[in-house]
Chains A and B, each alone.
Chain A
Amino acid sequence: MRPILLSGHERALTQVKFSKEGDLIFSVSKDHNACAWYANNGERFGVYKGHQGALWTVDVDPNTVLLATGGADNTIRLWEVKTGKLLKTWEFGTAIKRVEFSEDGRLLLGVTEKRQGQLSTVIVYEINPDPEAEQTSEQSLRIVCDELPKVTVAGFSYLSKYIITGHEDGSVSKWDAKTGELLQNVFVHDADLQVTDLQWSQDRTYFITASKDKTAKLMTVDELEVLKTYVADTPLNSAAITPVKDYVILGGGQAAMDVTTTSARQGKFEARFYHKVFEEEIGRVRGHFGPLNYVAVSPTGTCYCSGGEDGYVRVHHFDPPYFDFKFEVEREKENQSRI
């Protein structure tokens, strides 16, 4: 496969996201801009300008009408995808580390950072999916994390029933998305190594977490039970579950501050593919010069892209071997069912 390199950003990428149909890629970077790209040929559709600080996070609603971005200028901004018009700005006391739409696009959550005496919070807004409509300034829910360590990642579970958060100390919590009540808090990753990413399966009944402790874990929403563990040899920044094929993709690499002291080979700046069920590594894709900050898989399952500390987004469309690959047991099972 020939990767498409998207070089529209001047600084490190922080997050990349696909639209629901997998045709558009949204990328945010520390250079204050968000970009939209066509996934099939890498053409840049447009740039969303307006933020005053580094961007940490981006999400697009399921209709690909609204785009939410959050960053170090302490704002969440809502854009119209098609025109690039700024629809709404919500201001906060500290930086926004994560935004995510619910499955139906009616709710938007944001995670604020703990700093300057402010506590880490998860806030939820009700979103009007019509780009012409006025968006509310009123939070429908606000979860303040005063007892737990700071939240690093968060997302809505299936049917927007729960909010799952990942914390700085490697624990994962479940909250009631209606009342904001803490239901469960489990330690899944090594203590004091933060959860760096949380991505959903297609039906949002389970998710994968990535952590600096060099592992990624597949967990259920209902019990917060660890189903699978994928062990890597480098701190992980991101993990994604692939639709169509049962794989997971992990991205990471040495911390950005140590990069200059190591060669690209040692830095392990590769996307690692694991089999989702057998937990076995099946391959790697090289290319970035810096750690991978985020990996995202198209919901169609035919391509994935990674955003790196090197300022590039690399879009990979999978070749036939990716789809043909099967473990011996899978082949046997198929043969048996044929007989």
Chain B
Amino acid sequence: MSNPAGRTTDWAEDDEPDLATALPQPQITKNKDGTETVVTYSINEKGQKIKRTQRIRRTVIKKRENPRVAERRAWPKMGIEAGRAPGPHPDTTTLGENIIFRPVAGFKSGNTEEKEKDDKKADALKKMQIKCRICSGDHFTTKCPFRDTMAPEGEAGAGAGDGMGGEDGAEGGLGAGGSSYVPPHLRKGAGATGERMGGKYERDDLATLRVTNVSEFAEEDELRAMFERFGRVTRVFLAKDRETGRAKGFAFVSFVDRSDAAIACEKMDGYGFHHLILRVEFAKKST
């Protein structure tokens, strides 16, 4: 119903300009913090006068666009899409699940490890030397040409020993002794390749802070907001009671950079949050 010139286009709207003039003009006042307060008046269906106060912050976002791209964006659709409303249509365009993609040096997928293992086994099998127990030639004992003439010397003992020795070398060492049981986590090469509990997400313990003495009414978002001031936060974990849903009093906050984490640790240790004083320290590596 904008009728700026007061020109009437419809007889039904004739009396509206009068009403509009009866209402006070909108007021715009600038606040100190850069926001604006806009007060407008209107009349609702019941004929009551409504005063609406809005506080607005104006931000200018500048975006450069190639004029040719802008032109193409305005092209009318064609082919079987011709005449359809602008914007993506769910029959052809959908959003996938969020993927966390963080490049890391020395990336290794779980798959390749398995593969390597397989390869190693295959290699070991290939390399495993076949040694005849009769003549020490490179064929099976049963295929030995001297099988009938010479008896196998030292039979079982020597044979089994040989076999074990070969396997040991190939498997990458079950342990120093070879005979005694060595738990998996103590075996050679286990520390680096062993899969950690809790799934595939490698925790970057170096830049993780442990926050204790957290109020039980705290929320993850609050913590994130507090810690994001110091750098990019990758993960906030707030331990919660399963039944009550309240915080248990401690949380972990991971940063991208250790230096950010160090600053955050220094600044947030002793910070008053809700009614408690936070204690912040670097998380110790879980064992």
Which A residues lie at the B interface, using CB under 8 A?
1-8, 19, 21, 23-24, 37-38, 41-49, 64, 82-84, 233, 247, 265-266, 268, 273, 280-287, 314, 316, 318-322, 324-325, 327-328
Decide if A283 touches B107 in the complex (CB within 8 Å): yes
Q: B94 is contacted by which of A7, A23, A316 (Cβ under 8 Å)?
A: A7
A64 to B67, CA, bound (A): 13
A274 to B123, CA, bound (A): 27
A-B pair number, CB within 8 angstroms: 129
A318 to B96, CA, bound (A): 14
Note all chain A residues with C-beta closer than 8 A to B229: none
A6 to B108, CA, bound (A): 29
> How many whole Å from B273's CB to the nearest CB in chain A?
28
The residue in chain B whose Cβ has the minimal distance to the Cβ of A324 is B256
Q: B93 is contacted by which of A43, A265, A268, A284 (Cβ under 8 Å)?
A: A43
Q: Which of B30-86 contact A (CB under 8 A)?
A: 66, 68-69, 72-73, 75, 77-82, 86
Decide if B69 touches A23 in the complex (CB within 8 Å): yes
Note all chain A residues with C-beta closer than 8 A to B97: 2-3, 287
The residue in chain A whose Cβ has the minimal distance to the Cβ of B116 is A233
27 A-B residue pairs with Cβ-Cβ distance under 8 Å, sorted by A, are A4-B88, A6-B93, A7-B94, A8-B92, A42-B92, A43-B93, A44-B88, A45-B78, A46-B79, A46-B80, A46-B81, A47-B80, A49-B80, A84-B78, A84-B79, A233-B115, A266-B111, A268-B111, A282-B103, A287-B96, A287-B99, A314-B96, A319-B101, A320-B232, A321-B101, A321-B102, A321-B103
Which B residues lie at the A interface, using CB under 8 A?
66, 68-69, 72-73, 75, 77-82, 86-89, 91-99, 101-109, 111-112, 115, 232, 256
A114 to B111, CA, bound (A): 38
Decide if B96 touches A5 in the complex (CB within 8 Å): yes
Decide if B89 touches A23 in the complex (CB within 8 Å): no
Decide if A45 touches B87 in the complex (CB within 8 Å): no
Decide if A44 touches B92 in the complex (CB within 8 Å): yes
> How many whole Å from B95's CB to the nearest CB in chain A?
5
Known: A7-B94, A285-B99. 8 other contacts (CB 8 A): A2-B99, A3-B97, A42-B92, A43-B89, A45-B77, A82-B72, A287-B97, A316-B101
Q: A6 is contacted by which of B92, B98, B232 (Cβ under 8 Å)?
A: B92
Decide if A21 touches B68 in the complex (CB within 8 Å): yes
A23, A247, A286 — which one has the most chain B CB atoms within 10 A of its CB? A23
Decide if A5 touches B103 in the complex (CB within 8 Å): no
The residue in chain B whose Cβ has the minimal distance to the Cβ of A49 is B79
> How many whole Å from A324's CB to the nearest CB in chain B?
8
Decide if A282 touches B93 in the complex (CB within 8 Å): no
A281 to B88, CA, bound (A): 34
> How many whole Å from A67's CB to the nearest CB in chain B?
12
Tell me whether A5 and B79 are in contact in the complex, defined as CB-CB below 8 angstroms, given that A41-B88, A64-B68, A321-B102 are known contacts: no
Decide if A283 touches B103 in the complex (CB within 8 Å): yes
Decide if A46 touches B82 in the complex (CB within 8 Å): yes
A314 to B96, CA, bound (A): 8
The residue in chain B whose Cβ has the minimal distance to the Cβ of A321 is B102
Decide if A280 touches B93 in the complex (CB within 8 Å): no
Note all chain A residues with C-beta closer than 8 A to B107: 280-284
A19 to B72, CA, bound (A): 11
Tell me whether A280 and B106 are in contact in the complex, defined as CB-CB below 8 angstroms, given that A48-B79, A84-B79 are known contacts: yes
